[in-house]
A and B are shown apart, each in its own frame.
Chain A
């Protein structure tokens, strides 16, 4: 089996402020992110060979195909590919570009993820109208909060955690992310919250409350990729892709004997990513985590799914502060989906943006102290029982 390890490097990244960007169209956001990425990489738009555009809901203000990207940037009739994999879109777009670079068919690749959710007209993500894998004819009246909330119901029941205690653990996760978000000028939500506020918040889908759910935001993020052996020609401190793995559900979870308290796609993607990157002990070897905290329960379960926390005991690690901004393995040091926001197509790339800046020592007040060489991003689309997990491991050094 092949490996992407140390074949591709990121030499530039950009990220817009995420939030309710009433001021910006989809194309405005693309330009904002790409501008920063080009300056960071010290390359010009004419140097780009090929581009990938990650958008989950093109029908909201962006449009089908790669044309929203090529027409915004006036790319000269380049190959531009539209990529979508629900919330894992961003990482999937990076993966497509990385493979093109590794195949030697492309010298400099541009990847942009963008979403204009706030043009939808109602809160939350769009209603899915007609899908074969989650058809409205068969599924319950489901929405993302409800789908993930069920995992919390199961988790509390299986590990015999009284819901009151369970909600405290979930609250701590969000409080922790808000600490980081408060320090991040690009984040959507920048206010600290307390455990009490989280516990008293209105219920969205029991047992998840307002502060257990990430916000809905607009934003864009961009990355410029080159072959690893050429990276040092562009900058002193390129960041190397150590692993890129995607796992897509077989559909068996909802039909067979899934236990309701883990996301199988994450487990499989993580196992393959560690094999690809040569990581034997993630808890000891990983320095930073950017996990898909669409809901606090997702983050809790993901600690276990990526093999960092033991099964059923991630709550102990949460409460001990292991994942705090000042902890040993900071998780969501930029605020995560929870605070930075979740413009779906951009999120996977925004996660890499934070790891990228951290590994380069450029995270300012939020900079991890001590060893900072290896970071993992986890990007999850779909529902816990029908998911797409995309994992990327980034490293500061080649080899």
Chain B
């Protein structure tokens, strides 16, 4: 599950950032962000745009929020493909991101099954990692899972009905159609990826279609869980991490039907191998939350005493947030053109006392810079949703420093000199006023 300060948007930024850095594509060249989630943070306010701003992309791009079904991730991917194919865009970043643990009602079977994750792919032309060779989409208004505008938690009809009438029918229908379009047989496919809504039927689908057990991409149901719209794409990425040029990978989603896409891996896969944090390394870096009460707090499933200290957020100047969005959301500071000192927050007067130049700054992106912990404390007095508040001063590689909240740590874990990396998280959550402020913290997790 996600940490308390994560959500679908923060994880999309994390995955999106990895994707951009791994691709080697310049951020200026990205023409769109498609965000897919059945658990978006906002019902109104584009999550895709928050992601785009955090990733410091241009404002003149296409953004879209895909939602309402666990098929939304692959739909976003296909839409990105269509836009690039039509020549409307050179590159579109697709982020499928879910925080499904928060829509599972306490005591429901989904509480055990739902997981939180995000996957990001960059769709574009030129030096690709895999080509999209064929695809097929089918849609049905099937009554399996739903939520109305009033519902906080997932609703579902009977398991057996879903399994027999939808799960066992839609994916095979779509996969068969793709194989037919591509004029291929099951043995021509290296890996087939689709969500394992039901573990046994997950195998049955493959067998019925003529695939062998070793062609089936591990579903990771028991390590990550049901991650909704992100699920098929995570499986695709896991498959790509092991793939060889020439491999054919079939990816099918499930949700109000199915999108199935056939990929053919190119030489490009070698170029990006090892450049992003692998699915495996992320699973291995997990920590356990062995306290159910804390789990409920993380999921915002129970009312928690915040204390009077937390009530004082009466003046959240959103004008400031707009004015400084590049600094707050994208973690972009300034670098002095005269003395070269990187500085955050953005300054108009250089902080180097031997320089102090006025208006000599250029933008400087701290979001990509790792750092070393200069000082820290574990504060039991300052407000924190999950106390103690752990924070410290970070010296960034390449220069510059700032005081940052340290997340993904518990008391006793921090040391002066520890390596950390910036991470995009929820900073302030005020449900009274519907204000959620995002900003950057640092984490030691996968920081080296």
Cβ-defined contact, B403 with A142, below 8 A: yes
Cβ-defined contact, B320 with A153, below 8 A: no
Given known A251-B351, A254-B402, contact A138–B312 (CB-CB < 8 A): no
Q: A146: CB under 8 A from chain B? A: yes
Separation in Å of the A51 CB from the closest CB of chain B? 31
A256–B336 Cα distance when bound, in Å, is: 12
The one of A122, A126, A136, A143 that contacts B379, using a Cβ cutoff of 8 Å? A143
Q: A203: CB under 8 A from chain B? A: yes
Separation in Å of the A96 CB from the closest CB of chain B? 27
Q: A127: CB under 8 A from chain B? A: yes
Cβ-defined contact, B437 with A137, below 8 A: yes
Cβ-defined contact, B320 with A142, below 8 A: no
Given known A140-B404, A143-B382, contact A130–B320 (CB-CB < 8 A): yes
* Residues of chain A contacted by B176 (CB below 8 angstroms): none
| B411 closest partner in A (C-beta) | A206
* Residues of chain B contacted by A250 (CB below 8 angstroms): 351, 353
* Residues of chain B contacted by A312 (CB below 8 angstroms): none
Q: A164: CB under 8 A from chain B? A: no
Which chain A residues numbered 266 to 280 have a C-beta less than 8 Å away from chain B?
Answer: none
Q: B389: CB under 8 A from chain A? A: yes
Given known A129-B312, A254-B401, contact A140–B375 (CB-CB < 8 A): no
Cβ-defined contact, A154 with B391, below 8 A: no
The one of B324, B353, B393 that contacts A137, using a Cβ cutoff of 8 Å? B324
18 A-B pairs in the complex with CB atoms less than 8 angstroms apart: A122-B308, A135-B320, A137-B327, A139-B403, A140-B392, A140-B403, A140-B441, A141-B382, A143-B381, A149-B377, A149-B379, A153-B377, A206-B378, A207-B377, A254-B401, A255-B401, A260-B393, A385-B403
The CB with the most chain A CB atoms within 10 A, among B324, B344, B403, B441, is that of B403
| B321 closest partner in A (C-beta) | A137
Q: B383: CB under 8 A from chain A? A: yes
Q: A215: CB under 8 A from chain B? A: no
Q: A145: CB under 8 A from chain B? A: yes
* Residues of chain B contacted by A138 (CB below 8 angstroms): 327-328, 344-345, 402, 439
Cβ-defined contact, B378 with A205, below 8 A: yes
Cβ-defined contact, A141 with B401, below 8 A: no
Give the A-B pair count, Cβ closer than 8 A. 141
Q: B226: CB under 8 A from chain A? A: no
| B347 closest partner in A (C-beta) | A255
The one of A127, A141, A145, A251 that contacts B384, using a Cβ cutoff of 8 Å? A141
Separation in Å of the B41 CB from the closest CB of chain A? 18
A136–B377 Cα distance when bound, in Å, is: 18
* Residues of chain A contacted by B345 (CB below 8 angstroms): 135, 138
A50–B353 Cα distance when bound, in Å, is: 38
The one of A123, A146, A154, A208 that contacts B389, using a Cβ cutoff of 8 Å? A146
Q: B146: CB under 8 A from chain A? A: no
Q: A112: CB under 8 A from chain B? A: no
Cβ-defined contact, B393 with A256, below 8 A: no
Q: A382: CB under 8 A from chain B? A: no
The one of A123, A145, A157, A385 that contacts B393, using a Cβ cutoff of 8 Å? A385
Separation in Å of the A312 CB from the closest CB of chain B? 16
| B354 closest partner in A (C-beta) | A256
Kindly supply a per-residue 1/0 record for chain A positions 206-221, scoring 1 wherever the CB is within 8 Å of any chain B CB and 0 otherwise. Answer: 1110000000000000
Cβ-defined contact, A205 with B380, below 8 A: yes
| B405 closest partner in A (C-beta) | A140
Given known A126-B312, A142-B403, contact A205–B377 (CB-CB < 8 A): yes
A314–B372 Cα distance when bound, in Å, is: 28
Q: Contacts A127-B313, A142-B379, A143-B379 given; 19 further ones with Cβ under 8 A? A: A130-B316, A130-B317, A136-B316, A138-B402, A138-B439, A141-B383, A141-B389, A141-B405, A143-B382, A147-B377, A153-B377, A154-B374, A203-B378, A254-B402, A255-B343, A255-B402, A256-B341, A256-B401, A385-B403
Kindly supply a per-residue 1/0 record for chain B positions 383-415, scoring 1 wherever the CB is within 8 Å of any chain A CB and 0 otherwise. Answer: 110001101110000001111110000010000
Separation in Å of the B175 CB from the closest CB of chain A? 48
Cβ-defined contact, A252 with B352, below 8 A: yes
* Residues of chain A contacted by B374 (CB below 8 angstroms): 154, 260
Q: B202: CB under 8 A from chain A? A: no
Cβ-defined contact, A154 with B416, below 8 A: yes
Q: A65: CB under 8 A from chain B? A: no
Q: B153: CB under 8 A from chain A? A: no
| A386 closest partner in B (C-beta) | B403
* Residues of chain B contacted by A122 (CB below 8 angstroms): 307-309
Q: A204: CB under 8 A from chain B? A: yes
List A residues at the B interface (Cβ < 8 Å): 121-124, 126-127, 129-130, 135-143, 145-147, 149-151, 153-154, 157, 202-208, 250-252, 254-256, 260, 385
| A250 closest partner in B (C-beta) | B353
The one of B315, B343, B380 that contacts A204, using a Cβ cutoff of 8 Å? B380
The one of A121, A126, A203, A256 that contacts B380, using a Cβ cutoff of 8 Å? A203
Range for the number of chain B residues in contact with chain A? 35 or more
A385–B343 Cα distance when bound, in Å, is: 15
Q: Which 5 A-B pairs have the closest CB atoms?
A: A140-B391, A146-B379, A143-B382, A255-B351, A149-B377
* Residues of chain B contacted by A153 (CB below 8 angstroms): 375-377, 392, 416
The one of B315, B343, B375 that contacts A260, using a Cβ cutoff of 8 Å? B375
Cβ-defined contact, A146 with B391, below 8 A: yes
* Residues of chain B contacted by A146 (CB below 8 angstroms): 377, 379, 381-382, 389, 391
Q: B428: CB under 8 A from chain A? A: yes
Which chain B residues numbered 293 to 314 have a C-beta less than 8 Å away from chain A?
Answer: 307-309, 312-314
A177–B413 Cα distance when bound, in Å, is: 33
A232–B416 Cα distance when bound, in Å, is: 56
Cβ-defined contact, A252 with B320, below 8 A: no
Cβ-defined contact, B312 with A127, below 8 A: yes
| B402 closest partner in A (C-beta) | A254
Given known A122-B307, A137-B437, A139-B403, contact A145–B320 (CB-CB < 8 A): no
A207–B377 Cα distance when bound, in Å, is: 7
| A120 closest partner in B (C-beta) | B308
* Residues of chain A contacted by B376 (CB below 8 angstroms): 150, 153
| B356 closest partner in A (C-beta) | A250
| B352 closest partner in A (C-beta) | A256
Cβ-defined contact, A124 with B411, below 8 A: no
* Residues of chain B contacted by A135 (CB below 8 angstroms): 320, 345
* Residues of chain B contacted by A385 (CB below 8 angstroms): 393, 403
Cβ-defined contact, A145 with B401, below 8 A: no
Cβ-defined contact, A136 with B428, below 8 A: yes
A250–B351 Cα distance when bound, in Å, is: 8
Separation in Å of the A294 CB from the closest CB of chain B? 13
Separation in Å of the B92 CB from the closest CB of chain A? 30
* Residues of chain A contacted by B314 (CB below 8 angstroms): 129
A202–B379 Cα distance when bound, in Å, is: 12
Separation in Å of the A124 CB from the closest CB of chain B? 6
Separation in Å of the A127 CB from the closest CB of chain B? 4
A260–B313 Cα distance when bound, in Å, is: 30
Which chain B residues numbered 326 to 345 have a C-beta less than 8 Å away from chain A?
Answer: 327-328, 341, 343-345
* Residues of chain B contacted by A202 (CB below 8 angstroms): 380
Separation in Å of the B311 CB from the closest CB of chain A? 9
* Residues of chain A contacted by B328 (CB below 8 angstroms): 137-138
